A and B are shown apart, each in its own frame.
Chain A
Amino acid sequence: MSGDEGFSRRDLFRRLGARGKEVARARLEPVIPVRPVAPAKNIEPRTRHRVVPLHRPPGALDEEAFLAACTKCGDCASACPHGAIVPAPARFGPAGLTPTIIPMASACQMCPDTPCITSCEPRALRIEQPLRMAEARIQPWACLAHQGTFCSVCVERCPVPGAMELVDGKPIIDASICTGCGVCQYVCPAPENAILLMPLTARPTASPSS
């Protein structure tokens, strides 16, 4: 698939669907139950005990570096045209009031011009970071298509070309391309939402320079 196709598809549904700020008023709770995340290979060992796996805006530094850099100014939230970025609840301790995304309220639409990243002065969000926020997985037991009734909504609405594909009428995610934006979770009409999104706290961080 060509890049332009993906962009244009995103434009289509941005026009069709963006509910933006109107839905971002939702009360804040982590969508995914808190669970430890196994450290990946290219990631420095954890120094702190455990982090709350929050779904960060695109381009976020590794969670610890991010928490160190983020000033909780909220500029990224103001910059997001879809109202997707909201502050985490204060009771989350050090993570309280840091920017997070609740895809079920308003997912990241993968804006090509990444206004959130551009707005981040302390560079807790960086364009040179891989734009990966979470890992999306389809839970076949809940997915309509996998259970034999027709659905292709997630594939049609995924804004990242190549991240999802319909194979034999069933959606498949390419984990190496998926950014975890959460659009698929937002649109999934299954009675039990079939998309499991696991926020990445261990994000490969480039050298923590500048």
Chain B
Amino acid sequence: MNQQRAQQASPFESDRRNFLKLTAMAAATSVASSTAFGSSAFGETAFGADSTDATEAGASDVRWDKAPCRFCGTGCHVQVGVREGKVVAIAGDPLAEVNKGLLCMKGYHVGLALYGKDRLTQPLLRVDGELQPISWERAIQIAAEKIHAAPERFAFYGSGQWTIPEGYAAQKFMKGGLGNNHIDPNARLCMASAVTGFIATYGVDEPAGCYDDLDQCDVLITWGNNPAEMHPVLYSRVVDRRSRGETVEIIDISTRRTRTTEHAQRHLVFRPHSDLAIANGIAHLLIANGNYDEEFVNKHCAFRAPSDPPTLPGRPISFDEYKGFVAEYTPEHVEKISGVPADEIRYLAALFGRRDVKITSLWCMGMNQHTQGTAINCLVHGIHLLSGHFGRAGDAPTSLTGQPSACGTVREVGTLAHALPGGRVVMNSEHRAQSEQIWNVPAGRISPMPGFHTVAMWDSFCTPLADGGKLDTLWVQVTNPGQTLPNLHKLFNRKEGLEDKFLIVSEVYPTATTALADLVFPSAMWVEKNGMFGNSERRTQQWFKQVEPPGDARDDVWQTIAVAHRLHELGVPGMKDKDGRFLFREEDSGGKEVPIWEWEHYYDLNVDERLFEEYRKFTRLKHKDLAPYSEYVKTRGLRWPVVQSDAGEWRETRFRFVEEQDPYVAKGKGIDFYHSPTHDGRAQVWFSPYVDPPESPDEAYPFWLCTGRVIEHWHTGTMTRRIPQLDRAMPRAYVELHRADAEALGVTSGDVVVIESRRGRIELPAWIDGRGQPPRGSVFVPFFDESKLINEVTLDAYDPFSKQPDYKKCAVSVRKLVKP
């Protein structure tokens, strides 16, 4: 793989301090930045290195290479400095278009995520209640035997942190090998509603725009979104425009005041769930005032409404019907539902009614973790389409993802219970046949029945077989469901003590999930393995293994292939292709099979590259063309569709469906929704009514609870809480309360309060007038803290189409803890 390694210019030729000033903080998390906790002054460095500042030592013995940041869906690129087999420095990559050298506080410390003291370094098996070290040989054997015993009762649970090859290997193993569709990712919990929203609107998943819209828009609307904390580098990209003298108006539509609000000119606080009313209110005024984009609508749009019974495609309606449906949402009516002043709705509608401003909408979990998630996604696309704020740089409805490869792996490789790679679905016989052909497996191998989606999967796994549970062995890779599933008592904790259930977990650190695992595989992470991610803007990124994993930790792809091969040895027919060869057969240049299931031979060839090249064959159908692996080695990612020009160059696409940008839009078309659900080039403008949330505050549980992340920690904090600087910056979870509510409850900051729902209770210190400020009657709790599992309190109600649960609202009671 080394000869393929791109030549990387070290960004540290100039004097360090000058460099810091010049490139906006492209600082290295140096080995021993003089004040870091593990600094020389304290005799121990988290990196275990000496006190030499690697970046100042002329970098002669430090080898630099690129990698995307391990954490969020923004997809910043970092430069990784390696010396003597250890990551010793991290710098923002000035050549990366996404972040231009800037990182957020997590990114600067990403290297330390590898070096927590309690890395898992050997396979573990639960014996008499205790996890005991065992050999890899035995571990693989046990896993294979469990799966072999009842392949139809086996499920695979992964995530949007699976690299593309990891997700692809798991997908092929399950659907192409075992003929079992019980594979789903945690991304079900984070972006499934965005997917259904895109599909219902454009007939094809993923945003048409990209981050360039953020540089061009005149107005940025954040819908229930807090990019200042969750996608910090992206928000910096917007806010930074102001320091260059550009104007960008930011309108924050949210259910609490956040760090994002501080940079916004307008803040609209709405009652949880009522975003549907706001969007409908804008649509109504656009039509009533006659300033919707009639030409755009006539040329490119059709109208839809929910069908009875509800289906994802809904039913077609006329413009007049649509007009009639939204007519009810007058500004005054919207104010009544949402609490947002009618004039603010008028202001928004007037903005959308203007052709001379460019408007970008951003959203993430606020709209996705929503029992009406698909509907609100469609409505926001709808007002952009209705007003023609689409397809110009800066005019875009853009959903963000939280995970680094939620798009690249989950959405594109299709590691979902109903999906096949490249936008295919198991229900479609042609799609199955195409997949069987690429995988060279017998016709009929792939089951036409969608498997269990996340909530159903865990519910079934936690239900004894005798009581109707359908799953008995579950393998988790690259995620921590023991902390992230909603309603944990029901969907996870119940597993404890169930004799007939076997939980396999591939992990890098002990987590809430390994706490109930029966078998633990120690995994290599991030630059300890080759990998590829796909970020929120359709950008596929690649990196090479740069250091060895600790102890016996091994790549997740290897684990999947090793178990597959053991099943092959056990005679499982699904592990053979049509020609009787191993499903994951790889050959050297001489045509000789390379035993990649043996760890000693796994890196004899670049398995990532082989899997990726195979996967590429799937990507044409939905025009999500990917370039050859070698192109990604050379770049900091490329946005698909990446199509080769006549001159042989691979060209990325910034704006889809737009002539001259998207190679699949014919000349003269202007805009072409070429995957239109109605097959006529039209996008669907949806109407969906406001409906009440499944649970609202009442007398017994009078507060709204909202959960989310904080800037310091990524997801469940498995990695970031082991980084001393981040742990110190945000050590524990808390609950944000409105001052007036706190006063009424007799609570001041630091007092412990009890949050209780119908499902669970939790004790947390209160934070009043802190970083975020919920309105009266609302509280906010971050979910990163393993010792404070807020998901024991949340609700597991989910969107009917995306099956994504709603973590953003449920009813709780709040009271001061009275010590006995």
Contacts and interface: CB of A to CB of B under 8 A. Distances in A.
Interface of A: 4-5, 8-17, 19, 26-27, 29, 31, 102, 104-105, 141-142, 144, 147-153, 156, 166, 169, 185-193
Contacts of B27: 142, 191-192
Contact of B25 (A27, A102, A147, A193): A147
A149 B750 contact: no
Contacts of B232: 149-150
Interface stretch (B167-175, B512-520, B760-768): B760-768
A154 to B, nearest CB: 9
A144 B35 CA distance: 15
Contact of B711 (A27, A151, A188): A151
B399 interface: no
B24 A147 contact: yes
Nearest to B23: A147
B777 interface: no
Given A104-B37, A189-B725, A191-B29, A150 B731 contact: no
B41 A144 contact: no
B43 A8 contact: no
A3 B102 CA distance: 38
A189 B259 contact: no
Contacts of B731: 13, 16-17, 19
Given A8-B768, A9-B749, A16-B732, A151 B105 contact: yes
B259 A150 contact: yes
Contact of B750 (A8, A102, A148, A166): A8
B732 A17 contact: yes
B313 to A, nearest CB: 40
B749 A12 contact: yes
Nearest to B771: A156
A9 B750 contact: yes
Contacts of A151: 105, 711
Contacts of A147: 24-25, 102
Contacts of A148: 24-25, 102, 236, 239-240, 243
B533 to A, nearest CB: 21
Nearest to B232: A150
A10 B770 CA distance: 12
Contact of A142 (B20, B42, B103, B769): B20
Interface of B: 17, 20-21, 24-25, 27-30, 33-37, 39, 41-43, 90, 102-105, 108-109, 228-229, 232-233, 235-236, 239-240, 243, 259, 262-263, 711-712, 725-726, 728-732, 734, 748-752, 765-771
Contacts of B239: 148, 169
Contacts of B748: 4, 8, 11
Nearest to B108: A191
Which of B33, B263, B749 has its CB near the most chain A CB atoms (within 10 A)? B749
A26 B24 CA distance: 33
B225 to A, nearest CB: 14
A31 to B, nearest CB: 6
A149 B25 contact: yes
Contacts of B43: 26-27
Given A27-B43, A189-B712, A141 B259 contact: no
Contacts of B41: 26-27, 29, 31, 102, 104
A191 B104 contact: no
B765 A193 contact: no
B771 A149 contact: no
A191 B711 contact: no
Most buried by B among A12, A29, A102, A189: A189
Given A16-B734, A192-B33, A193-B35, A141 B769 contact: no
11 contacts: A8-B751, A12-B749, A15-B750, A105-B42, A141-B17, A144-B25, A166-B262, A169-B263, A189-B729, A190-B105, A193-B33
A10 B105 CA distance: 23
A166 B732 CA distance: 22
B750 A156 contact: no
B351 to A, nearest CB: 25
A191 B28 contact: yes
A14 to B, nearest CB: 7
Contacts of A13: 731, 750
B711 A12 contact: no
A73 B730 CA distance: 35
Contacts of B728: 17, 19, 186-187, 189
Contact of B36 (A10, A149, A193): A193
Question: Which 7 residue pairs spanning A and B have beta carbons closest together?
Answer: A11-B750, A193-B35, A12-B750, A147-B25, A8-B749, A8-B748, A189-B729
B734 A149 contact: no
Given A31-B41, A150-B105, A191-B30, 4 more contacts: A12-B749, A17-B728, A189-B726, A190-B725
Contacts of A187: 728-729
Nearest to A103: B35
A4 to B, nearest CB: 7
A149 B259 CA distance: 12
Nearest to A169: B262
Name the residue in A12, A13, A191 with the highest tally of chain B Cβ atoms < 10 Å from its Cβ: A191
A153 B712 contact: yes
A189 B109 contact: yes
Given A17-B731, A150-B229, A31 B35 contact: yes
